[in-house]
């Protein structure tokens, strides 16, 4: 079955009406996933576990639970008891966690069926999809292009209709950027709404768990079950909300768009945003062009790198080949650690560890790291100021379709020649800096390649954001059907 054109609720109806049995559904999902294994989107296919799992509850129809028997895949930095969990890194390529992450546990309790663990740029550090230790994942729309990352396999799975939803993580933009390149929905809720217990950390002050789906309604179904306070995660908040029953919004909205972003837009993207804004206004909403201190915008990439690399050094210090993970031989424990880390990590990770460690040297902490945290606060203050004028902040997740693989420089995505525009590639990081909910939806196609649109709301306004996203999704679908964006 291809899940591209069916909602989770429709699928649920088919299961409840016995048009398809849970076992048939899971088996056919696995058979289909097998056809895609050559793409590297999965690190582990969980065939045996999934079938054993569905057999446990397949006969007990759970009419009220939309997630009953629904297949999904999970990013491989999320702990699954007794199932290989590698974080996309060679150093963890033999790690079988003795416990489940809270998010895994919740979906198990809901009797959803995990059919595989997906590829990611090593330890979540990257945005290309090329650097999972098991191989490259590329864009299904064009094999010469990136699918983006770090949640590359989870993006691929929903983009190809292999599963109706997948789990991702997002420290900078790892759900919302690839969603744009793949023409699907990617949502990172307010910081702390979904437990990170059992999710391998990259940079804990920025890390979020979120999901990929094909539409907003499915996203609401999943969030209904997964927004939960968790005692085991000290950054967890109680932000549980009933999304699905409340997706309708009748309020008039003040949409905001940053003036500096507009300056760098051109061609079809620019014209499409203009058309889209006009339709919002026709519906009685406001579109307000807002100022954002350009110095602060320009600082985003540096601040992200300083904070995430430094946190990444300390969170990954436990990967030493001693306690768990792949161990290389050595004369003493120091040599074992050095050899294990030298062989176990790829270039991106090593580069980030070097830069991060430099800032963690005691003489640099005040000079560099503390300063970047202060600038982070200034950025958050600037966002707060903007939200005094508007309700929903719109960003282009990218101004172009997915970049070509050959344009990846070293281990990162292409660099811009124009320094003035560099901030555009990292705009989505704003919502990791202040923790606001942020979602990417499909928007237009340029030469048959998808480009998404990204919407944000104040922290804890997740319901409002999904309500507006539902409205925007319907509007964009209508405009695309009417050929409004065609040129
Ligand atoms: N692309 C960003 C990076 O390179 C984001 C990573 C993420 O969100 N995990 O770090």
pLDDT digits over 378-426, tens only?
A: 999 999 999 999 999 999 999 999 999 998 877 666 666 778 898 999 9
Q: Is the CB of 122 under 6 A from ligand 1?
A: no
The verdict on the CB of residue 171 being under 6 Å from ligand 1 is yes
Which is the closest atom of ligand 1 to the Cα of 170? 8
Q: Is 233 in the pocket of ligand 1 (CB under 6 A)?
A: no
Q: Is 274 within a domain?
A: no
Q: Is the separation of the CB atoms in 394 and 445 below 8 Å?
A: no
CA of 124, closest atom in ligand 1: 9
Q: How far is the CA of 350 from the centre of ligand 1 (A)?
A: 15
Q: Answer whether residue 160 is part of any domain.
A: yes
Distance 329 CA to ligand 1 centre (A): 32
Q: Pick the atom of ligand 1 nearest to 151's CA.
A: 9
Mean pLDDT to the nearest integer, 248-253: 90
Counted domains in the chain? 1
pLDDT at residue number 198: 98
Q: Is residue 318 part of a domain?
A: no
Q: Which atom of ligand 1 is nearest to the CA of 308?
A: 10
The answer to whether residue 148 sits within a structural domain is yes
Which of 87, 89, 120, 126, when mutated, tests ligand 1's pocket best, judged by the most ligand atoms within 8 Å of its CB?
A: 126
How many angstroms from the chain centroid is the CA of residue 381?
25
Q: How far is ligand 1, taken at its centre, from the CA of residue 171, in Å?
A: 6
What's the pLDDT at 114? 98
The pLDDT assigned to 250 comes to 82
402, β-bridge pairs: none
Q: Is residue 280 part of a domain?
A: no
126 lines ligand 1 (CB under 6 A): yes
Q: Whose CA is nearest to atom 5 of ligand 1?
A: 172
Residues paired with residue 214 on neighbouring β-strands, in sequence order: none
Asked if residue 286 is part of any domain, the answer here is: no
Query: Is the previous residue joined to 430 through a cis bond, with omega within 30 degrees of 0?
Result: no
Cβ–ligand 1 contact at 413 (below 6 Å) = no
264-312 confidence digits (pLDDT tens)? 999 999 999 999 999 999 999 999 999 999 999 999 999 999 999 999 9
- Residue among 124, 147, 313 to mutate when testing ligand 1 (max atoms within 8 A of CB): 124
Which domain does 183 fall in, by range?
1-254+395-486
CB 150 less than 6 A from any atom of ligand 1: yes
Q: Is 164 in the pocket of ligand 1 (CB under 6 A)?
A: no
Q: What is the mean pLDDT of the chain?
A: 96
pLDDT value, residue 416: 67
Q: Whose C-alpha lies nearest to ligand 1, atom 1?
A: 127
Contact 326, 90 (CB under 8 A): yes
Q: Is 173 in the pocket of ligand 1 (CB under 6 A)?
A: yes
Residues in the chain: 487
The pLDDT of residue 414: 64
Q: Give the pLDDT of residue 408.
A: 86
pLDDT score for 58 = 86
CATH number at residue 188: 3.90.1300.10
The token pair that represents 71 in the structure block: 């297949």
In SS3 terms, the chain reads as CCCCCCCHHHHHHHHHCCCCCHHHHHHHHHHHHHHCHHHCCEEEECHHHHHHHHHHHCCCCCCCCCCCCCEEEEECCECECCECCCCCCHHHCCCCCCCCCHHHHHHHHCCCEEEEEECCCHHHCCCCCCCECCECCECCCCCCEECCCCCHHHHHHHHCCCCCEEEEEECCCCCHHHHHHHCCEEEECCCCCCCCCCECCCCCCCCEEEEEECCHHHHHHHHHHHCCCCCCCCCCCCCCCCCHHHCCCCCCCEEEEEHHHHHCCCHHHHHHHHHHHHHHHHCCCEEEEECCCHHHHHHHHHHHHHHHHHHHHHHCCCCCCCCCCCCCCCCCHHHHHHHHHHHHCCHHHHHHHHHHHHHHCHHHHHHHHHHHHHHHHHHHHHHHHHCCCCCEEEECCCCCCCCEHHHCECCECCCCCCHHHHHHHHHHHHHHHHCCCEEEEEEEEECCEEEEEEEECCCCCHHHHHHHHHHHHHHHHHHHHCCCCCC
Ligand 1 centroid–CA 21 distance in Å is 39
Return the best residue to mutate from 147, 150, 424 for the ligand 1 pocket (most ligand atoms within 8 A of CB).
150
Question: What is the per-residue pLDDT for 182?
Answer: 98
| Ligand 1 atom with minimal separation from the 202 CA | 9
Give residue-wise pLDDT tens across range 464-474. Answer: 999 999 999 99
Report the pLDDT value the prediction gives residue 31, as an integer from 0 to 100.
98
Q: Is 425 in the pocket of ligand 1 (CB under 6 A)?
A: no
- Tell me the pLDDT band of 1, cut-offs 50, 70 and 90: confident
The reported pLDDT for the residue numbered 412 is 67
**Ligand 1 binding pocket includes 124 (Cβ within 6 Å):** yes
Residue 29 and residue 42 in contact, taking contact as beta carbons nearer than 8 Å = no
Mean pLDDT of all residues in 159-168: 98
Which sign does the torsion angle of CA 475, 471, 211, 207 carry?
positive
Write down the pLDDT at residue 264.
93
Q: What are 446's strand-pairing partners?
A: 449
Spacing, Cα 412 to ligand 1 middle (Å) = 10
Residues 337-375: tens digit of each pLDDT: 999 999 999 999 999 999 999 999 999 999 999 999 999
Active site residues: 75, 150, 174
- Two tokens, residue 375: 């600038």
202 close to ligand 1 (CB < 6 Angstrom):
yes
d(CA 356, CA 305): 8
pLDDT band at 243 (very low <50, low <70, confident <90, very high): very high
User: Residue 431 C-alpha to ligand 1 middle, in angstroms?
Assistant: 13
For residue 284, is it within any domain?
A: no
Predicted local distance difference test score (pLDDT) of residue 409: 75
Among 121, 147, 435, which is best to mutate for testing ligand 1, by the most ligand atoms less than 8 A from CB?
Answer: 121
What confidence tier does 209 reach under pLDDT thresholds 50, 70, 90?
very high
Asked if the structure places residue 359 within a domain, the reply is no
The CB of 152 under 6 Å from ligand 1? The reply is no
Q: At what angle do helices 294-315 and 371-386 cross, to 10 degrees?
A: 130
Name the CA dihedral angle for 412, 416, 422, 425, rounded to a multiple of 10 degrees. -50
Q: How confident is the model at residue 27 (pLDDT cuts 50, 70, 90)?
A: very high
Q: Evaluate if pTM is beyond 0.95.
A: yes
């Amino acid at each position: 079955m291809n899940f591209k054109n069916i909602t989770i609720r429709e699928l649920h109806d088919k299961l409840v009406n016995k048009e398809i049995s849970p076992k048939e559904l899971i088996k056919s999902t696995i058979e289909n996933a097998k056809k895609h294994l050559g793409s590297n989107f999965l690190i582990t296919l969980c065939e045996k576990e999934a079938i054993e799992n569905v057999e446990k509850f397949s006969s007990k129809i759970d009419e009220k639970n939309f997630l009953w028997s629904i297949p999904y895949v999970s990013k491989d930095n999320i702990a699954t008891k007794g199932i290989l969990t590698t974080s996309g890194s060679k150093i963890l390529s033999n790690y079988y966690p003795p416990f489940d992450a809270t998010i895994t546990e919740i979906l198990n309790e809901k009797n959803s069926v995990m059919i595989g663990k997906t590829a990611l740029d090593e330890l979540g550090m990257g945005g290309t999809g090329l650097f999972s230790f098991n191989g490259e994942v590329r864009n299904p729309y064009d094999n010469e292009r990136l699918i983006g990352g770090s949640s590359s396999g989870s993006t691929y799975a929903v983009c190809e209709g292999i599963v109706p939803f997948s789990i991702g993580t997002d420290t900078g933009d790892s759900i919302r950027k690839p969603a744009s390149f793949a023409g699907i929905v990617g949502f990172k809720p307010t910081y702390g709404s979904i437990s990170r217990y059992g999710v391998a950390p990259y940079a804990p002050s920025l890390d979020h768990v979120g999901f990929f789906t094909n539409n907003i309604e499915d996203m609401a179904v999943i969030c209904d079950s997964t927004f939960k306070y968790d005692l085991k995660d000290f950054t967890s908040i109680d932000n549980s909300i009933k999304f699905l029953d409340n997706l309708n919004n009748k309020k008039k909205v003040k949409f905001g768009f940053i003036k500096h972003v507009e300056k760098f837009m051109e061609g079809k993207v620019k014209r499409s945003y203009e058309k889209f804004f006009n339709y919002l206004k026709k519906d009685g909403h406001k579109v307000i062009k807002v100022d954002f201190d350009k110095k602060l915008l320009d600082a985003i990439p540096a601040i992200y790198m300083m904070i995430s690399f430094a946190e990444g050094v300390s969170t990954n210090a436990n990967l030493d080949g001693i306690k768990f993970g792949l161990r290389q031989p050595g004369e003493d424990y120091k040599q074992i650690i050095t050899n294990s880390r030298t062989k176990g990590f790829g270039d991106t990770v090593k580069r980030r560890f070097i830069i991060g460690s430099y800032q963690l040297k005691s003489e640099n902490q005040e000079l560099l790291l503390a300063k970047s945290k202060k600038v982070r606060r200034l950025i958050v203050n600037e966002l707060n100021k903007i939200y005094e004028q508007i309700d929903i902040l719109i960003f282009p997740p990218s101004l172009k379709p997915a970049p070509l693989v050959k344009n990846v420089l070293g281990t990162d995505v292409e660099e811009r020649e124009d320094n003035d525009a560099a901030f555009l590639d990292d705009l989505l990081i704003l919502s990791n800096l202040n923790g606001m909910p942020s979602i990417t939806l499909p928007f237009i196609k340029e030469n048959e390649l998808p480009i998404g649109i990204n919407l944000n709301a104040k922290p804890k306004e997740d319901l409002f954001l999904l309500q507006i996203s539902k409205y925007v999704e319907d509007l964009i679908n209508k405009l695309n059907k009417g050929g409004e964006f065609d040129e």
